[in-house]
Amino acid sequence: MEFQQLKHFLAAVEHGNIGRAAETLHISQSGLSRSIKNLETTVGVSLLKRTARGVEPTVHGVQLIPRARAILNQANRAREDLETARATRGGHVRIGVTVNFAHYLMPDLIFEISKSNPDIQWTVLTGTFGQAIEKIQSAEVDLFFGLLVPLSEETELTIDTLFESRSGIYGRIDHPLARKKKVEVQDLAGERWATFDSKGLKRELEGYFERNGLPAPAFVVTTNSYALLKQSVMQLNLLAIIPRSLADPDVGAKKLALLASQTPGDHVRAGLVYREESLAIPAVAEVIATLKEKARIFAKPV
């Protein structure tokens, strides 16, 4: 199995047409078809099937796609690391992070490591846990730091839980419930909600009301952006579960109010996800070690 063959296979899948893929790769159609055929011979299964519109992956082809992308990304990463090592002693760290920690832990991390190793190059991407898992599996990022969500299936990735991140139910400062001394679950069920785009969180919230014999509330806005989540609370007068670290500045500015109620999902685990082989990259190993140390300072370890 050769890198070039995997590249040719992915191009055919992405374009859905041998001719367009060959044109993009600047090779002949016959050359591309021969390369993919040699790959199929090597793995012993058919990877592409012809359709009226072109080609599409077989069941085995679908299984190969994420592996092929990961192999090519890791090969590119190895080349980039060697080039960086020749020029500097730094390295390039690609990290995915949930937006709440992008605000108050990542800047400190980058500043601290850059003081001792100014040659490190950083790529920091914000997103959800699910998005990060996909990018780690395809080797697009080296590690993830942020809020953890239980996985529905086993994984080869290393998951290190570092601490618990507190969340709360928030409403606008002038929301009627913000004036109550004690907010009951019945009060919450009658309100309109915004929710983060997480199946686990939504199930937990729905279960919270069901356990109290109440119907699930109306979810008006569902988003994977905490910025939009907060704006939905403030502009549409909705309720939402928001990490306290992200909501505290708006509470201090008297824009949001933490409602005095038992909160579903009040304790959410935060931690690291990475491929074990990433520890062989010195810059990545340094980032992981520093994050673990900072977790002891910024939050109570579990």
Percent of the chain with pLDDT over 90: 26
Residue 85 lies in a domain: no
| Residues 259 and 273 occupy one common structural domain | no
Residue 123 lies in a domain: yes
Residue 149 lies in a domain: yes
Among candidate residues 40, 70, 100, the one where a domain is terminated: 70
Residue 42 lies in a domain: yes
Write out pLDDT tens, residues 148-184: 877 766 778 899 988 887 788 999 999 999 999 888 8
Residue 76 lies in a domain: no
Q: Measured in whole angstroms, how far is the alpha carbon of residue 282 from the centre of its chain?
A: 23
| Residues 283 and 139 occupy one common structural domain | yes
Residue 83 lies in a domain: no
Among candidate residues 70, 105, 123, the one where a domain is terminated: 70
| Residues 225 and 280 occupy one common structural domain | no
| Residues 202 and 240 occupy one common structural domain | yes
Q: Is the pTM of this model over 0.85?
A: no
| Residues 287 and 246 occupy one common structural domain | no
The two structure tokens encoding residue 140: 């697009």
Provide the domain count of the chain.
3
| Residues 170 and 261 occupy one common structural domain | yes
| Residues 59 and 135 occupy one common structural domain | no
| Residues 286 and 226 occupy one common structural domain | no
Range of the domain at 259: 166-266
Write out pLDDT tens, residues 98-125: 877 887 778 888 988 888 888 888 999 9
| Residues 213 and 260 occupy one common structural domain | yes
Residue 51 lies in a domain: yes
Alpha helices (runs of H) in the chain, residue ranges in sequence order: 3-15, 18-25, 29-43, 59-87, 99-104, 106-116, 129-137, 185-189, 199-211, 226-236, 244-252, 282-298
For residue 195, the domain's CATH number is: 3.40.190.10
| Residues 278 and 129 occupy one common structural domain | yes
Residue 178 lies in a domain: yes
Write out pLDDT tens, residues 232-283: 999 999 999 888 878 888 999 999 999 855 566 556 788 999 988 888 888 8
For residue 36, the domain's CATH number is: 1.10.10.10
DSSP secondary structure string for all residues of 166-178: EEEEEEETT-GGG
Spatial neighbors of 105 by CB under 8 A, at least 6 apart, are: 145, 291, 294, 298
| Residues 158 and 109 occupy one common structural domain | yes
| Residues 174 and 241 occupy one common structural domain | yes
pLDDT at residue 299, rounded to an integer: 54
Among candidate residues 70, 99, 127, the one where a domain is terminated: 70
Do residues 170 and 242 make contact, with C-beta atoms less than 8 angstroms apart? Answer: yes
Q: 3-state class of 182 per DSSP?
A: coil
The two structure tokens encoding residue 60: 């085995």
pLDDT at residue 84, rounded to an integer: 61
